[in-house]
Every structure is written in C-alpha cells, then in structure tokens.
Chain A
Amino acid sequence: MSRGSGGGYDRHITIFSPEGRLFQVEYAFKAVKAAGITSIGVRGKDSVCVVTQKKDKLLDQTSVTHLFPITKFLGLLATGMTADARTLVQQARNEAAEFRFRYGYEMPVDVLSKWIADKSQVYTQHAYMRPLGVVAMVLGIDEEKGPQLYKCDPAGHFYGHKATSAGSKEQEAINFLEKKMKNDPAFTYEETVQTAISALQSVLQEDFKATEIEVGVVKADNPVFRVMSTEEIDEHLTAISERD
C-alpha cells in the first residue's frame, strides 16, 4: 500500500495531501489571519472605499502603511505579512507601468488582479517558492465597468466584490456586510465610506480615532486613487457617531 502522507512533505511544500488539499496554501491563509489586522472594502455606485487598522500605537504612523498606490488610478490594500506585501506591490507597480507603456492605456483593475492571482498560482504549483502570506484588495474605476473592487488571495483565486473583508475578523465582517448589501444597494460616496468604517468598528467593537485607521478611496468623478487625510477621516467618523 502506498504511504498516506506523501512522505510528510505535503506540509512543507505545495504538493497535494491525500485529501487533495494544499497545506502550504492553507497555512498561508492562516498567516494572513495571524497578522492581527482586519481590512474591509466596499464598492458603491460611483466609488470604492477600503479601510484597515493601524495596529501599533507606538510606531511612527507615517511610516506604517498597508495601502499602496500601484498607479495613479489603482490602489492596493495588503492584509497579512508586510514584507510579502512589499514584494507584491513592487512587482505590481512594475507590471502596471509596463502595461501602460506597451499598450498605451492604463491597466484595468481586473487585469491587474488576474496578473496578481496568476502569479500567486505559480507559487502554489512550484515547490521552490512558497505562497505569499498576503490577501490583496485592488480598487479602481474601470472605464467601461465603473467602480471595481477585486480581492486576490494566496491560493490564486480572484473575484470582483460588492463588498469584502480580509484578515483576522474576516468572517464576522463578511457577515455584517452581507446583511448591509443584501438588497444590492447603490451607495453614494459618503455611504460607501461610512459603511466601510462602521463595519470595521462594529466587527472590532471599538470606536476609532482618525489616527488608528487608514482609508483609501477612488471616485468616478475623480478616478485618482487617494489615501484619506486624518481630517477627512475625522469628518466621516463624526458623521457616523452623529448618525448613530
């Protein structure tokens, strides 16, 4: 009879386990959760907003970020291992710039997401590279399809989302967002931002100060990817607390 466990290597490199699973990929997902940060993205009628926590209060907040512009029009929110995220962002920036040079138009959101996901798939199939411990949310305004939010994971899956979450409290956040988005609402810009922030607050059960979260947005009337300033975040936080 054949040995069941694939020589015990199925936990070390990306080969199949007897149940047909890839343990290294599953462990990569765990690494994303272990980072202890939760992120949320919401797509509205004409805008997309992503929110994430800034965990450590003693760090110099200006040097810490999970929100990266890839091009002027595309943003990427990386949840998980920061070092892996930087590699991914570097490669994505390179790819998007080459795309613009080669084809003469800006790389669309779904094309970049597919590229990221295809690269992640290679790491799940070739033994010499481990999967990255990062879930990437890519956002931008597509010329034809409008606001787009895509999520790419270590397994190489990528989907477009109306709203989504990643990180330690991912499932709770998704449950919260499913309730909010059940009837396919078309959120305005303010509603989009406030849904994202209040989802994070509700799931983590704490009220944030403007310096404790990072918010990134794209709007259809100004499709540039923008990281919100602390003042703007404050305005939205006040609006949320007044609404409640």
Chain B
Amino acid sequence: MGDSQYSFSLTTFSPSGKLVQIEHALTAVGSGQTSLGIKAANGVVIATEKKLPSILVDETSVQKIQCLTPNIGVVYSGMGPDFRVLVRKSRKQAEQYHRLYKEPIPVTQLVRETAAVMQEFTQSGGVRPFGVSLLVAGYDDNGPQLYQVDPSGSYFSWKASAMGKNVSNAKTFLEKRYTDDMELDDAVHTAILTLKEGFEGQISGKNIEIGIIGTDRKFRQAPALTLSPFSLKLYGGVMLMRKMTFWL
C-alpha cells in the first residue's frame, strides 16, 4: 500500500505512548453529523442527521445509511468519502464469505473484518487512518446486534450508542430511555426523539435517515414519505409510530 517512498507509517507513537493520528481521526468523527443506533429485543434501528450543504443539493442523491448485506446495515459519523471506501470493502468481504460458505456472513465476522481494514490503515505505510466511526446493525442467528467501529479498528457491541457532534447529550438521553425489553417501534420512536434533542432547525423526513432491521432479517431504510413533518412535530412521534408499524 502506498508508494515505496512512503513505506513508513505515518501513524507513529508519541513519547507518551499515544497514536496521535488516531486521536485526530476521532476528533474528525466528533465534528461529524450525529448518528445513533438502538438495539431492541426484536430488531435494531440506526439513524442519522442528513444536513446537506445547500437546498440546491438533490437529497435523493445522498444516502448516508447503506446496507452491506441484506441483513446488515451501516451508518457513520465523520468523513463521507472514507465511509464509501469502507462500505465497498465490507460488501466485497461479505460476498467473498458467501461465495465460500454459501451462507450469509455473521454480523460479528463482518465487523471484525471491517475493523481489521481500519486497523491496517493505522499501521501501513503512506496512509492515514479513516476519519469515520461506524455503527453496524444486523440480525443473524445470534439475534439483533449493534456494533460501533472506531478509526483505530477497535469495536464494541452496544445496546445503544451515539457518535458525532451531539454525542454526550445523545448518550445521556439514550441511557435514560433505554430498557432491555424495548420493542422495535419504541426504539425507532426513541431514536427520532434523540436526534430531535440536538437538532438545529426543523426536523423533517428530508433531513434525517432511518434504517431498521427486524425479525424478518431484511435491512430497510425508512422512505422519507413515512416521516412527514406533520407527524414529527405535532404528535411528537406517536402518529409516526402508527405509520411506521404498517410496513415493519
């Protein structure tokens, strides 16, 4: 990886034992748009703000939540271009697993391989770490799972997590509201309320994205239509839940 002139690592230890480039990468993540994920008893939901640089941007051309396999989805906070690279690599890894074993890749394995890629870029010559943290949501034989992967390549399984600009408020909110026996509908409702907490401006179906996976093991994205501004504002999510449950 990298030209021979750069066959030394750019990420090196500081005298105090820190890998400074990784810390800077985490800062880049921390200044990215807020995203979060919640694991319910019967599924997982991930959500993110979708703030576009101008009203001139065609929001249908932007998709921050991507699916890696039919039963695994991912969202990020941080640098969009870096995210695309990881999505591409992860999809290829999932497909290679499937070709070899004729089975869908388990969530933990895909997370592990993606994390390994991210770690490589903290040690290889001539490259910088990825400026994204990922939230991977999937449903396999081990049930619903939610993992967070950091630029360093370390990953953890979470019941609920948040990343990006509003991380501390969002996590506090989630800690208060999370229950182990939450249903998927409640989780979606909570996710939207958490996003709303730190949202600058008017929240609507056009400036957030939601991805959901339930017991049917099919990762789906909420179409903007079901998140009408009317439902989000006036009914604080109750009407929204009714609209969402019909297609869950």
Which chain A residues lie closer than 8 Å to B16 at the CB level? 1-2
Which chain B residues lie closer than 8 Å to A14 at the CB level? 128
Which chain A residues lie closer than 8 Å to B3 at the CB level? 126, 128
Asked whether any CB of chain A lies closer than 8 Å to the CB of B15, the reply is yes
Q: Which residues of A contact B (CB under 8 A)?
A: 1-3, 6, 9, 13-22, 43, 110, 114, 117-118, 120-121, 124-128, 150, 155-157, 159-164, 174, 177-178, 181-182
The minimal Cβ–Cβ distance linking A44 to chain B, given in whole angstroms, is 13
Query: Is the beta-carbon distance between A18 and B24 smaller than 8 angstroms?
Result: yes
Query: Is the beta-carbon distance between B80 and A156 smaller than 8 angstroms?
Result: yes
Q: Which residues of B contact A (CB under 8 A)?
A: 1-3, 5-6, 10, 14-16, 18, 20-21, 24-31, 52-58, 60-62, 79-82, 84-85, 88, 121, 126-131
Which chain B residues lie closer than 8 Å to A174 at the CB level? 54, 56
21 sampled A-B residue pairs with Cβ under 8 A? A2-B14, A20-B25, A20-B29, A20-B30, A20-B31, A43-B58, A118-B84, A125-B82, A125-B85, A126-B6, A127-B127, A127-B128, A128-B6, A155-B79, A155-B81, A156-B79, A156-B81, A160-B62, A161-B57, A178-B54, A181-B55
Query: Is the beta-carbon distance between A117 and B81 smaller than 8 angstroms?
Result: yes
Q: Nearest CB to that of A184 among chain B residues?
A: B55
Q: Which one of A15, A18, A178 contacts B27 once the chains associate, using CB atoms below 8 Å?
A: A18
Query: Is the beta-carbon distance between A162 and B131 smaller than 8 angstroms?
Result: no
Known: A121-B85, A163-B56. 14 other contacts (CB 8 A): A1-B16, A2-B14, A2-B16, A3-B14, A20-B27, A22-B128, A120-B81, A121-B82, A125-B85, A127-B128, A128-B6, A160-B57, A178-B55, A178-B56
Most chain B CB inside 10 Å of its own CB: which residue of A9, A14, A16, A21: A16
CA distance A156 to B21 in the complex (A): 20
Query: Is the beta-carbon distance between B24 and A16 smaller than 8 angstroms?
Result: yes
Which chain A residues lie closer than 8 Å to B6 at the CB level? 126-128
CA distance A92 to B184 in the complex (A): 45
The verdict on A181 contacting B56 (CB below 8 Å), with A15-B128, A125-B127 known, is yes
Q: Which one of A21, A126, A160, A161 contacts B28 once the chains associate, using CB atoms below 8 Å?
A: A21
Which chain A residues lie closer than 8 Å to B21 at the CB level? 6, 15-16
CA distance A178 to B52 in the complex (A): 13
Query: Is the beta-carbon distance between B24 and A125 smaller than 8 angstroms?
Result: no
CA distance A114 to B81 in the complex (A): 10
Query: Is the beta-carbon distance between B24 and A126 smaller than 8 angstroms?
Result: no
Query: Is the beta-carbon distance between A15 and B10 smaller than 8 angstroms?
Result: yes
CA distance A156 to B54 in the complex (A): 17
Which chain B residues lie closer than 8 Å to A155 at the CB level? 79, 81
CA distance A146 to B37 in the complex (A): 35
The 6 tightest CB contacts between A and B, nearest first, are: A156-B81, A160-B61, A20-B28, A20-B27, A16-B24, A2-B14
The minimal Cβ–Cβ distance linking B23 to chain A, given in whole angstroms, is 8
Which chain A residues lie closer than 8 Å to B56 at the CB level? 161-164, 174, 177-178, 181
Which chain B residues lie closer than 8 Å to A13 at the CB level? 10
The minimal Cβ–Cβ distance linking B38 to chain A, given in whole angstroms, is 26
Query: Is the beta-carbon distance between B27 and A19 smaller than 8 angstroms?
Result: yes
CA distance A182 to B55 in the complex (A): 8
Query: Is the beta-carbon distance between A161 and B58 smaller than 8 angstroms?
Result: yes
Query: Is the beta-carbon distance between A162 and B26 smaller than 8 angstroms?
Result: no
The verdict on A159 contacting B81 (CB below 8 Å), with A16-B24, A20-B27, A126-B126 known, is no
Which chain A residues lie closer than 8 Å to B82 at the CB level? 121, 125, 156
CA distance A22 to B130 in the complex (A): 12
Query: Is the beta-carbon distance between A16 and B81 smaller than 8 angstroms?
Result: no
The minimal Cβ–Cβ distance linking A191 to chain B, given in whole angstroms, is 16
Which chain A residues lie closer than 8 Å to B25 at the CB level? 16, 20
Query: Is the beta-carbon distance between A124 and B81 smaller than 8 angstroms?
Result: yes
Query: Is the beta-carbon distance between B62 and A159 smaller than 8 angstroms?
Result: yes
Which chain A residues lie closer than 8 Å to B55 at the CB level? 178, 181-182
Q: Nearest CB to that of B52 among chain A residues?
A: A159
Query: Is the beta-carbon distance between B81 and A157 smaller than 8 angstroms?
Result: yes
The verdict on A128 contacting B14 (CB below 8 Å), with A16-B131, A20-B24 known, is no
CA distance A19 to B5 in the complex (A): 27
